[in-house]
Amino acid sequence: MRVEREGFRGKSNRIAFGDYVRDFYLPTKRAALRRNTMRVYESIIANYLMPKFKDVMIPKLSRPMVQKMIS
CB 50 within 8 A of CB 18: yes
Angle at 64 between CA 58 and CA 69, to 5 degrees: 90
- Residue-wise pLDDT tens for the chain (71 aa)? 454 555 555 555 678 999 999 998 999 999 899 999 999 999 999 999 999 999 999 888 899 998 998 88
Domain count within the chain = 1
pTM: 0.73
* Enclosing domain of residue 55: 2-70
Cα separation of 26 and 23, whole Å? 7
